[in-house]
Structure 1
């Protein structure tokens, strides 16, 4: 069996890729024309076959599609976030190209979507307009708005709690909201964690001022560990992946260095508590360990690097089924790669 399969999203540049939580052979890809700067977007639903990757459906939008999430209620539905501020729900079994639901409450680009994995009846979106919104696919308007007061690139429901929502933003902070708390003046905000406490890569002038003090840089992505409910990884413009324990948030638990440009996307493994994957503007996709599975514990380090993309690597995801070694990535090079990490692993 081949260790890598490729699909071309010709005319559209990749922004996000997500495996179905129902079918091990289906993935969704969010794309945009003209690198997302101007023009249409397209959502692809792809199937992996013995002969390669084939397109099952595609849905066109009037503006870029920056992110997508599979519904946890309906195996045929997906939500997307668009450049015009709209949020759309598509059904792969519905005729035509139109969404089955269309919301438009965000005033800027919707850069992230996340479905609630616990109760499965809600999803979240975040936007450059400085807000997170919670939605139900059955309701015509949003359920709740959580202000972040900063351009918000990434939002996620905790996989361990139906009530905990997190985000990272251009102000370089992790925000954690708990919907079980009284709304009050805090708008459910329970933790505000600064990300930028550590120095950049040794020898680099990036992110420092004339006094050689570290300056904040934009956080672009984050993800909750699937096994440890207090552990979050972040990545962004300063090229460093940091892991945090929300019980001791004053400084990062680990820092993973190795990318040469901004870290655009992170995903913890659904199979191993110590492994995560990253896609970067340096065009590489890397597999890491934070060292916690080693006995005795070893330093965090890169385990593998895939460098087949020829533009920014913008989306990564792990296959939820079967072997833990299959992943997917997408890039501005208009390619979706589905591949086995094993041949890329370092001795």
Structure 2
């Protein structure tokens, strides 16, 4: 069964389930395919009657990513096309609570740390920079320099405090230590094309997934990064986002410019399932951390879809 919500006039860029409330999710959207116009953050609840709107927050530029707080069920941060990070409180109808603007170009990735007591936030931008933030401060804590092109994705390790990965148009994955912003700990020439996305395995601290404009998904073991340990092919166009499945370390999901979502078991060469219910680029993807098998995605066709693929259901 698919539940749908239409983000009328706005194109979906990112979607994420709440780590606190199993029914709640957020979707970051942009007008005019992110090239011009405004953005809206939609807060939705999944109910037996469908996906229902809880709150909608407008901003004067496109919104490209969203991350929920790990220490407050009502807080979340989005990255905006004007270089801003925006903090929203779902308990309030007005927003944002705060706006930080240090990036000089679009912020297309944000992530809230799951392992540190400080609950730090990362942002990555078209200005080639990564910044680290504490929402209690008025400015960023530090800036990570090294990527030579757009940084498309930045993700905290769910296992190692202070460790995060980034993916860039300079064809590399980089592994960073938050205590040493001067340089990356590891630089991986990951794809022979722009790298658009990365994510960590939830069950093995050494495994990292990447996806690129070469249509490929690669699995990396940080103990030896000279070559990938697994390569998955099947997407017809660029892999826009990868998400590791929270209930099985071998399963991951991906979405693509080929209008599909695919589910994979990294022990097998072919995808487990190919879901084709969008008519435009699929940009956002997430798994519900409370309910095994529940997936949500969003695309440029103005649809948020929630569903349970057969291959993820208990057997």
Smaller-chain TM-score bracket = over 0.9
CA offsets per residue over residues 186-217 of structure 1, 9 Å max, x none?
x1411001012xxxxxxxxxxxxxxxxxxx31
TM-score (norm 1): 0.88
Matched, 1:325 2:301: no
Q: 1:103 aligns with which of 100, 103, 110?
A: 100
Matched, 1:189 2:158: no
CA distance in 2, matches of 1:103, 1:141: 7
Matched, 1:50 2:48: yes
**In 1, are the aligned partners of 2:285 and 2:296 still within 8 Å (CA)?**
yes
**In the alignment, which residue of structure 1 is the partner of 2:251?**
275
**In 1, are the aligned partners of 2:55 and 2:93 still within 8 Å (CA)?**
no
Matched, 1:342 2:310: yes
Deviation for aligned residue 1:223: 0.3
Matched, 1:112 2:88: no
CA distance in 1, matches of 2:34, 2:149: 21
**In 2, are the aligned partners of 1:305 and 1:344 still within 8 Å (CA)?**
no
Residues 344, 179 of structure 1: alpha-carbon distance in 2 compared, 3 angstrom cutoff: closer
Q: 2:72 aligns with which of 49, 74, 99?
A: 74
Deviation for aligned residue 1:344: 8.8
CA distance in 1, matches of 2:186, 2:89: 36
Deviation for aligned residue 1:95: 3.6
SS in 2 for 1:189: coil
> Which portions of structure 1, spanning 4 or more consecutive aligned residues, are displaced by more than 2 angstroms?
none
CA distance in 2, matches of 1:266, 1:344: 16
TM-score (norm 2): 0.96
**In 2, are the aligned partners of 1:304 and 1:344 still within 8 Å (CA)?**
no
**In the alignment, which residue of structure 2 is the partner of 1:91?**
89
CA distance in 2, matches of 1:95, 1:302: 42
Deviation for aligned residue 1:4: 1.1
CA distance in 1, matches of 2:236, 2:93: 44
Q: 2:228 aligns with which of 252, 257, 265?
A: 252
**In the alignment, which residue of structure 1 is the partner of 2:203?**
227
CA distance in 2, matches of 1:153, 1:95: 30
For structure 2, the 5+ residue unaligned runs are none
CA distance in 2, matches of 1:344, 1:116: 27
Range with bigger deviation, 326-335 or 158-167: 158-167
**In 1, are the aligned partners of 2:293 and 2:312 still within 8 Å (CA)?**
no
Deviation for aligned residue 1:165: 1.6
Q: 2:134 aligns with which of 129, 133, 136?
A: 136
**In 1, are the aligned partners of 2:197 and 2:212 still within 8 Å (CA)?**
yes
The structure number with the bigger radius of gyration is 1
**In 2, are the aligned partners of 1:306 and 1:344 still within 8 Å (CA)?**
no
SS in 2 for 1:302: coil
CA distance in 2, matches of 1:222, 1:108: 21
SS in 1 for 2:273: strand
Pairs aligned (count): 312
CA distance in 2, matches of 1:125, 1:276: 23
1:129-208 alignment to 2 at 5 Å?
Answer: 129-147=127-145, 148-181=147-180, 187-196=182-191
- Aligned-residue CA RMSD (Å): 1.4
CA distance in 1, matches of 2:311, 2:149: 41
SS in 1 for 2:33: helix
Deviation for aligned residue 1:179: 2.4
